[in-house]
Amino acid sequence: MSVKFKKLALIGIGLIGSSIALAARRQGLVDHIAISTRKPETLAEAEALQLGDSYTLDPAEAVRDADLVILCTPVGAYKSVMEAIAPSLAPGAILSDVGSVKEHVVKVLQPLLPEGVQLIPGHPIAGTEHSGPSAGFPELFAGRWCVLTPGPEVDPAAVEKLSAFWRAMGSQVECMDAAHHDMVLAITSHVPHLIAYNIVGTVADLEADTKSEVIKFSASGFRDFTRIAASDPVMWRDVFLTNRDGVLEMLGRFLEDLAVLQRAVRTGDGPALEAMFTRTRAIRRSIISAGQETAAPDFGRPHEAPPAAEGDEKA
């Protein structure tokens, strides 16, 4: 089966949209890339970066005659985007997205879906804390999973064609039910982000209240939380507004387990703490062997030698 699409329309051209544009172009997966976004300055930036072949502030114009449309805006914008594009979607086109939640997406898009358009929601499990058209790079999806959540009514040939598109950009593809996706992502991504936002907020308040030096001494575990907590505020606001059930379920389990650890610390239960930390170390090793993380120390950060002090012997 040919992976090639005649016209790809990307609605939203931030980190994920621009990475798709660059990867699809590099792999020769599309003849034409139409780009649409909300702000004229973002569109101008995308054009200056030569991410597409045509540029418009009108999403309906971008999707006209497109055989693949991918929504790459924050999930909260989907309803208004769909209202604008629905009458212009071509029969037979695949409508997909990259949003980090999936049940809500189906709820918003399905009722407005014109007959003959194949809705295949998607979520590339790949990203960075950077945003905007200049943040993208074509290798973003290499070796990363992309989850697709087509309903039972979707043509299997369309699912296979979209899967082949993602595989050609380097992803491994798995199909699953939208509700299952939301539950899994709640614990692997959404709750970890909530914890990072919370701990960085707590530290910032502490620093302000006590004039202490927490930021100065942040090169320990805290620094790694700050990377996650620097993620786009609008995107993450929308994730927590639209995956409330999944997040609350997993947050409940997390808090129960935290209470167990709290008790172990309070009672000085060394064996319980050590057993827990041994189990979690093994989990990190299995993520590394699955190729989803680097084994390099300190997340692969370059470590430069400190400048030689005056009078030091040169090696």
Residues in contact with ligand NAP by CB under 6 A are: 12-17, 37-39, 42, 72-75, 77, 81, 98-100, 123-124, 127, 131-132, 135, 232, 235
- Residue 122's DSSP bridge partners are 148
> Residue 14 or residue 52: which is nearer to ligand NAP going by CB?
14
> Residue 93 or residue 146: which is nearer to ligand NAP going by CB?
146
> Residue 126 or residue 250: which is nearer to ligand NAP going by CB?
126
CB 124 within 8 A of CB 18: no
CA atoms within 13 A on the CB side of 157: 5
Q: Going by C-beta distance under 8 Å and a sequence separation of 6 or more, which residues neighbour residue 124?
A: 16, 98, 140, 141, 144, 145, 146, 166, 171
DSSP H or E stretch at residue 89: none
- Residue 56's DSSP bridge partners are 36
Minimum distance of ligand NAP from residue 37's CB (angstroms): 4
Backbone angles phi, psi at 95, to 5 degrees: -110, 120
> Residue 136 or residue 150: which is nearer to ligand NAP going by CB?
136
The Cα–Cα gap between 272 and 207 comes to 32
Looking at residue 159, its amino acid is: V
Minimum distance of ligand NAP from residue 57's CB (angstroms): 9
| 279 Rama sector, left if φ>0, alpha if ψ -120 to 50, beta otherwise | alpha
Q: Which two three-digit tokens encode residue 129? A: 């804390």
Minimum distance of ligand NAP from residue 79's CB (angstroms): 10
Minimum distance of ligand NAP from residue 8's CB (angstroms): 15
Strand ranges (E), 104-178: 118-120, 122-124, 145-148, 172-175
> Residue 4 or residue 38: which is nearer to ligand NAP going by CB?
38
> Residue 74 or residue 150: which is nearer to ligand NAP going by CB?
74
Minimum distance of ligand NAP from residue 288's CB (angstroms): 20
Minimum distance of ligand NAP from residue 132's CB (angstroms): 5
Q: Which two three-digit tokens encode residue 157? A: 């040939």
> Residue 17 or residue 150: which is nearer to ligand NAP going by CB?
17
Minimum distance of ligand NAP from residue 248's CB (angstroms): 19
